[in-house]
Structures are given as structure tokens and as C-alpha cells.
Amino acid sequence: MSLIKNSDSEGILAEAKNLSDQAKTWADLSNAIFDPASGLIARTFRGGAERREFRKTETYGALHSLVEQKMRETGVLGGSRPQKSGRFVVRLPRSMHAALELEAAGEGTSLNQLVLAKLAVPLTSALLQAKPLPAVRDKRSSHRPPKPRRSPTVKGTTSGRRRG
């Protein structure tokens, strides 16, 4: 017995076509359909067994075809950059998380709003002073900053210590 109803397949395909019309890039469309937490498939089929069953259907193939069509429209590279969601996850030590929660409660605001305000202050002051923000080195970059040099020492001298 199949866990997938025809009405589920028809509904998911119709919604995917709407998503395709709204998506600016193929990456956005792919995320909207296939994201394992919030995509169309995850919202429609909550259980792993249902999702595995759905992957065997023609409708699943049709969803991939929609993404491929959007890829042809937007270009493989040009369409590979999804719109920024405005969300990102930061892992903090538990002690810092707790301290920020206490501060937010004391301020009568949410943790999100407190952290947003704390991030905005240095950005705003840098913009007002027209100073460029310090560059962040990409870990994958092969460029390394030069190592600091040691002060030359002269023979027969000590390095700031008095003898005696």
C-alpha cells in the first residue's frame, strides 16, 4: 500500500509551480522545494517513510525538472546564489548565551533584538566615521599576514635586565 496519495502529488506539483514562478534563482527554488527542514517536501511529508516513498514518484522527478528549467532560465552560476534570508546561526558558549538572555530580560527585549543592537553599534559608528571595517581573512586563503619581527639584540647587552 502506497503512503502517497494522488492528491498529495498533484497539490505538491501545483505549489512547486507557483514557487517556480516566484523564485528569482534556481537555488531559491531548490531550497523552497527540497530544504530538509522547511521545504515543500518536508512540510508535506513529515515522516521519513513518506519522503522515501515520495522520492520514487514521477512527481518527484517533475520537481527536479522544474529546478532544471529554472537553472536554464537563470544560468547555472548566476542562479546559484540564493537570496539572503537574513538569518544565520551563531554558536555561543552556554555561559555567554545565559548572560545575553539575562541582559535582554533586564532590558525588556528579546535576545534577537539585543544581539542585533550589539552588532549594529560598531557597524553604525564605522559608517559615521567613514572608516572601513577591518577585513576578515578567509580561512581558505593561502595569504598569511607577515610575522612580527623580533627587535635586534646587540652582543654583550641584556634584554632590559639589570645585572648586579
Q: What is the pLDDT of residues 73-131, one digit of tens each?
A: 888 887 777 667 777 788 889 999 999 999 888 888 888 888 878 877 776 666 667 65
Listed ranges 1-5, 59-63, 119-123, 132-136; the one with the highest mean pLDDT: 59-63
**What count of other Cβ atoms lies within 10 Å of the Cβ of residue 29?**
27
Residues 20 and 16: their CA atoms lie apart, in Å, by 6
Mean pLDDT on 151-162: 54
Distances in Å between the alpha carbon of 51 and those of 8, 48, 57?
12, 5, 10
Q: Which amino acid is at 62?
A: A
pTM score = 0.50
> Given pLDDT bands bounded at 50, 70 and 90, which one contains residue 1?
very low
Distances in Å between the alpha carbon of 8 and those of 18, 22, 30, 41, 44?
15, 21, 19, 10, 8
Residues 72 and 70: their CA atoms lie apart, in Å, by 5
Q: What is the mean pLDDT of the chain?
A: 77
Q: Considering the domain boundaries, does residue 124 fall inside one? A: yes
Number of domains in the chain: 2
- Of the candidates 28, 25, 55, the one whose C-alpha atom is nearest the C-alpha of residue 39 is 28
Domain that holds residue 101: 94-128
- pLDDT at residue 97, rounded to an integer: 92
- Same-domain status, 73 and 10: yes
Q: What is the pLDDT of residues 61-79, one digit of tens each?
A: 999 999 999 988 888 887 7
- Same-domain status, 33 and 61: yes
C-alpha cell at 61: 522527478
